[in-house]
Structure 1
Amino acid sequence: MVDATASFGIEPSTQEYPSARLEAYSTHTEISTATPEALSSYARLCANGVFAPAQSALWVETWVRQIRLDSLIATITSNGQAVFALALEVVKVGPFRVARFMGGTHANGNFAPALPKWLQSASEADIIGLMQAIGKARPDIDALMLQRVATDLDGTANPLLALPNAPTPNIALSVDLDGGFDAVLERTSAKRKRKKHRAQTRKFEAAGGYRRLIAQTGDETQRLFDAFLAMKVERFRKMGIANVFEEPELQAFFHALFAGSVNADQPIFTLEALEVGGVLRAVTGTSQCGKRLICEFGAISDDELAASSPGEFLFYDNINVACADGFDIYDFSVGDEPYKRLWCDIETRHVDIVLPLTAKGRMFAAGTRATARLKAFVKNSPFIWKIAKALRKRAAGGSATPAED
């Protein structure tokens, strides 16, 4: 048998496990394409396990149906029951074939579904064995690239940390909701926030009245997400950034994801918006993960009310509602922006895993790690990062816009 730890450059664990425990949690691996049967098994695991939103059954099933890329589901089973699974898409990155989380850069805070009891006893050998099985079943895959991996989920360590990893270049920011909304405000400039919110309320009332919307139907989802796309296109253009929502298949995925969620007994994904004078001025898309409410994306309309910060107004109300609904954390997800810093008191650093499966994959891993180190250097140097963003905006012919989306 091939020595998995040697193949992947992982130092073998010296930890010994009692024979009774090994017997109780004897595991096997299964590698399959994303067939209806494999997806059903994955959904059953999610129904009994814990997972991050981008690894939910709804996300994975919708991605497979809408994107139709080469995909696989790698599963660890114990006594015939799935206890851990990785849903991956296989894509070409230059001359390399790479397996990654479904959703690519849109998948954040990743934690693959697992049974809680198995997580208590998961071993390094289980994870290395799964990686070895993927390499054996799919010798055409050069490397696994698992990015923005959450180190834990509600205090439970991510079993993927058994693999070599490095901090991702971008931090994630979030708000501790302990004590309720008044306590959150007191920790983050309460007087200024309340005063500004009252002033915004007066402006929005004078502009025709306002309301906070939550998409409850497929048609409402379509309206809010279409508005978000229109807002984001203009924002990306001014920032000199490629539109990451440009592909029609990706837009169809998000439409189907949020529309599918509103019909679920416990919706994971929701769209919220601020409407002023009958016009949508700001839109956010959120997901739920236990007691954590995550803002996956947001945008504002570049119109006559942009200077009144409708995005900031919507976040104020969203965080207030999150407190009222009993959430512990409001998570602004990956990325460090001034509007997030107005609220956030928690910094989280996810990790990236780049694991070569072939000799060719070792070249890919070395290049990817070098690029990540360069990005981390630039983004962790405020002066250099400020210059880089200014040059990017100038190259795109953009002008300064409110930094709240």
Structure 2
Amino acid sequence: MVDATVSKRAIPNNPAADARQATAVVNVDAASDAMLQQYRDFASEVTCGAAQHPDWVESWAFTRSTEILFLSLNLSGQTVLMMPLEVVRQRGCRIARAIGGNHANGNFPAIAPERGHNLTPQVMKRVLADVHRLRPDLDLVLIERQTASIDGVSNPFAQLASVLSANIGLALHLGCGFDAILDRIGRKRRLKKHRSQTRKLEAAGGFRRIEAQSDAEVERLVAAFLQQKAERFEKLGIHNVFADMQPFLSALFSRAQSAEKPAFLLHGLEVAGTIRAVTGASVVGERIICEFGSIAEDDLSHASPGDFLFYLNIEDAARQGFKTYDFSVGDEAYKRGWCDIETEQFDTIAPLTLRGRAYALALQAVVSAKRRIKANARLMTVLKRLRRGAANAQAKSPSPADSADD
């Protein structure tokens, strides 16, 4: 799977430092079966983000080729924090980033809640200094799209150099119950639309909502999602970031089936025997988070199967007692139709070398520019129109093979 464990440790340099600093030990360990088990033992009992859940980390480690590291901090002999990272190369820099890259949202390290208050700015700066000492080949630590807190536990990386992420997040309160949600968003209009969709789907051959509970169901829904996403991205002229994600997604949702309370859920809307919409979600505390979704671009798209599936998902989440339904990052009209919570995530961009410092400045500029553009609705509309136009032009232009046959 991965290399045998290579453990590096930083010990206090100044015995006269205060007790909290003097007893801090930082480790950077390469992934191995033993290290993955150690991480599972710790993270399963503490607070962490969805992309830091052991199921996510193990699925990523077994299906990707990147170097995996585990950053850990021990205070007074007890593990307080662990953060899985992957090493990637970008523009000549070696970067230790959150596992999952752009697919990971709401990042949050595994933290022992009862000792989280010890993670002061001084301790976190010490962690970065020790990472540089242990891995001088790394230029930058990059942890994007982080959430500020989970279940009352604060994210200690917020105390380091950070910027607001380019995208906002949207969510809705569920604690009041589904009836109260309908009252808030317009019960009469929403129920009228839902009844109309129901009639269309029943006339098309009937429907059912599927929650994957076997490997076969996982494979079927993952395959449908990837096909739908590929067709959608091609139509919009967007690079397909899911093109190589089948092994990871299949491993993740299959692995989750073995848990009494799965941390990752896969749902689909089947109409007349065909999957018309798919959503993948994570569970973090009392929050259910929609990590991705897709719809089929076919003869039933007029019935809005994706919107219909979200209605069923949100209704079910409220019935199960979740407090929040989170649509994750991205500002879209279909999310606004449900949501009453707007959140911001942040990126930690921590350079370790001169090369990393130069790249960090460039990253900060890019994030700031993206944020300004996405905050301008008119500019975003123009950009989307230009992108669709470019995609249509490319689709209509003959390929080299077609030209050769003329």
TM-score by length of 1: 0.91
Report the counterpart of residue 240 of structure 1 in structure 2: 237
Task: Say whether 1:37 aligns with 2:34.
Answer: yes
Q: Which residue of 1 aligns with 2:404?
A: none
Aligned to 2:378: 383
Aligned runs of 1:204-219 on 2, under 5 Å? Answer: 204-219=201-216
Question: 1:6-21 residue pairs with structure 2 within 5 A?
Answer: none
Name the residue aligned to 2:369: 374
User: Counterpart of 1:140 in 2: which secondary structure?
Assistant: coil
Contact 1:53–1:287 (8 Å) recurs in 2: yes
The AA in structure 2 aligned to 1:22 is: R
1:77 aligns with: 74
Moved more, 315-324 or 75-84: 75-84
Q: Helix, strand or coil for the counterpart of 1:109? A: coil
How far does residue 233 in structure 1 lie from its aligned partner after superposition? 0.5
Determine if the alignment matches structure 1 residue 150 to structure 2 residue 124.
no
Distance 1:136 1:33 in 2: 16
- Give the distance between the partners of 1:82 and 1:119, measured in 2 at CA: 11
**How far apart are 1:125 and its partner, in Å?**
2.1
**Offset of residue 73 of structure 1:** 0.6
Matched, 1:100 2:71: no
**Does 2:257 align with 1:257?**
no
Q: Determine the C-alpha separation between the residues in 2 that align with 1:212 and 1:33.
A: 41
Q: Deviations over 1:69-122 (max 9, x none)?
A: 112111001343321011100101121111100000000011110101111332
Q: Is 2:73 the counterpart of 1:115?
A: no
Q: Cα deviation per residue 1:227-281 (whole Å; 9 max; x = unaligned)?
A: 000100011111111000112xx32011100011012222111110111111111
Residue in structure 1 matching 2:62, options 51, 61, 65: 65
Which segments of 5 or more consecutive residues in structure 2 lack a partner in the other structure? 1-16, 395-406
Counterpart contact for 2:20–2:75, Cα < 8 Å: no
AA of the residue aligned to 1:338: A
Give the secondary structure class of the aligned counterpart of 2:111: coil
1:201 and 2:198 correspond: yes
**What is the CA-CA distance between 1:375 and the residue it aligns to?**
0.5
SS in 2 for 1:172: strand
Counterpart amino acid of residue 271 in structure 2: V
Distance in structure 1 (CA, Å) of the matches to 2:353 and 2:91: 15
Contact kept? 1:177, 1:329, Cα under 8 Å = yes
Opposite residue 356 of structure 2, the aligned amino acid is G
Query: Matches of 1:398 and 1:187 in 2, distance apart?
Result: 43
User: Helix, strand or coil for the counterpart of 1:397?
Assistant: helix
342, 355, 360: which one aligns with 1:360: 355
For residues 364 and 391 of structure 1, the distance between their equivalents in structure 2, rounded to whole angstroms, comes to: 29
Indicate whether 1:161 and 2:167 are aligned: no
| Alpha-carbon shift at residue 220 of structure 1 (Å) | 0.4
Sequence identity, in percent? 42
- Whether the 8 Å CA contact 1:31–1:137 is kept in 2: the answer is yes
Runs of 4+ in 1 over 4 A off after TM superposition: none
Cα distance 1:320–1:398, how it changes in 2: closer, same or farther (>3 A)?
Answer: farther
CA 1:38/1:80 → structure 2, altered by over 3 Å: closer, same or farther?
A: farther
Cα deviation for residue 22 of structure 1 reads 3.3
How far the C-alpha of 1:398 sits from its partner, in A, is 8.0
Task: Return the match for 1:312 from 289, 307, 316.
Answer: 307
Which aligned pairs between 1:283-362 and structure 2 lie closer than 5 A?
A: 283-362=278-357
* Aligned-residue CA RMSD (Å): 1.8
Residues of 1 paired with 2:181 and 2:215: CA distance?
A: 33
CA contact (8 A) 1:31 1:133 kept: no
User: Counterpart of 1:22?
Assistant: 20
| 1:41/1:82 contact within 8 Å kept | no
Aligned-partner Cα distance in 1 for 2:265–2:171: 18
1:73 counterpart SS class: strand
1:393 aligns with 2:391: no
Distance 1:269 1:79, change over 3 A: same
Greater mean deviation of Cα atoms: 144-153 or 32-41: 32-41
Equivalent residue number for residue 88 of structure 1: 85
Gaps of 5+ in 1: 1-17, 400-405
Cα deviations by residue, 1:277-310 (Å, 9 ceiling, x for unpaired): 1111100001100000000000000111101100
Paired amino acid for 1:198: R
1:228 maps onto 2:225 in alignment: yes
Cα separation, partners in 2 of 1:107 and 1:398, compared to 1, 3 Å: farther
Tell me the amino acid that sits aligned with residue 260 of structure 2. Answer: D
Aligned length: 379
Letter in 2 for 1:99: A
CA distance in 2 between partners of 1:307 and 1:200 (Å): 9
CA shift, 1:37, in A, is 2.3
